[in-house]
Structure 1
């Protein structure tokens, strides 16, 4: 049976936000207080995947600093250019030992054409998850961000994302010890637009940080 692939676009993004606000009074409060969230997007490229890997468990500013340092070094972030660097050169670009391994592995896989990024948009979410999960250092959070930012899949809730989870608990007045399973169950009410609901949560989180 062929599965439907649901994506959102700049044309549909605000309409989906409006629908979520109509369905959920707390999300409506976010919209009322802070307006529409940015529609965070990235290109379907090796560079975008490197960027997401760099963002694992560090601040967004630290990840961007490493990405920009790499860009200074090799200009074009493509697999062949990364594979030409030594581990020491990557470490000089603020890459940790682990992330050096992950990014070089990704570069090799793409250079060997074992994964074709251009083919992934044609596949359903779970098939993409199986393919990318085989890569070193690529787990569910990395795949969630790829599906949300790069492929604009509509119904992803990244339960491993600390900012989204903390914003969710604060917005809904949930106890600090609310489990991931409970959050996933509550987030089902946002389907089939959990990605856009999460972008509203991030918008709320970032807006509160800006105010404080």
Structure 2
């Protein structure tokens, strides 16, 4: 799962219990997981621009949450504890950005995102809100360091889109395995097919899959001798 859900305030994009019953109750395994885990608390972040979300995502790639937050915090400290705008980011030399803890590859990717925001390839929040999910994916995956998973996280946790199923996410696949009682995680294509019936609330389903995966990790960490 992503390092953490975006903090409030934000737009709660989770369906109501009535919506959940309509979409999920026909699958006894999914409904049992929902009843066990409780209400979905998935939120979009109304205050974040797509450009800013992409910078944060790139900074955190292949890092644990605390390290990712520290690096991004140092980057923001260069502009008085706010996310640097595109021109501000491009004005920093490589040595300064490396001093924040960013690798060369991440610096190249961030600069590419900044340039793309300036020339319009990365939409503003207002522009993105007018685009459908797949259009946003197609626009952004052309950027270096930005894959489909990164854009899907932006769709869910920044733009608050309710019908995203990140089939390549291992946590989602593992959570689905646990929910359904499978011996092994399903392949991404199969996961997409099996979860298509839960549209238009697949973002919530992904959230429950992440929670189910976390339950499995906690159970595995229990010492069988001490509990």
Q: TM-score, normalised by structure 1?
A: 0.83
SS at structure 2 position matched to 1:156: coil
Q: Which blocks of at least 5 consecutive residues in structure 2 are unaligned?
A: 1-10, 222-227
Question: Structure 2 residue aligned with 1:140, among 111, 136, 148?
Answer: 148
Q: 1:165 to 1:59 in 2, by over 3 A?
A: farther
1:198 aligns with 2:200: no
1:63-111, CA deviations, whole angstroms, 9 ceiling, x for partnerless residues?
A: 2222222122322212222212222222222222211111111012213
Question: Structure 1 residue aligned with 2:193, among 185, 192, 199?
Answer: 185
Q: Which blocks of at least 5 consecutive residues in structure 1 are unaligned?
A: 1-8
Question: Higher relative contact order by CA 8 Å / sep ≥ 6: 1 or 2?
Answer: 1
Is the contact made by 2:156 and 2:164 (CA closer than 8 Å) also made in structure 1?
yes
Is the contact made by 1:17 and 1:36 (CA closer than 8 Å) also made in structure 2?
no
Partner residue in 2 for 1:76: 82
Alignment of structure 1 residues 82-161 onto 2, 5 Å: 82-117=89-124, 118-161=126-169
SS at structure 1 position matched to 2:16: helix
Q: Comparing both structures, which one devotes a greater share of its residues to helix?
A: 1
Partner residue in 2 for 1:10: 12
Q: 1:205 to 1:14 in 2, by over 3 A?
A: farther
**How many residues end up aligned between the 2 structures?**
204
Q: TM-score, normalised by structure 2?
A: 0.78
**In 2, Cα distance between the equivalents of 1:151 and 1:132?**
14
Partner residue in 1 for 2:64: 59
Is the contact made by 1:133 and 1:140 (CA closer than 8 Å) also made in structure 2?
yes
Q: 1:25 to 1:120 in 2, by over 3 A?
A: same
Compute the RMSD of aligned alpha carbons. Answer: 2.3
**In 2, Cα distance between the equivalents of 1:36 and 1:209?**
20
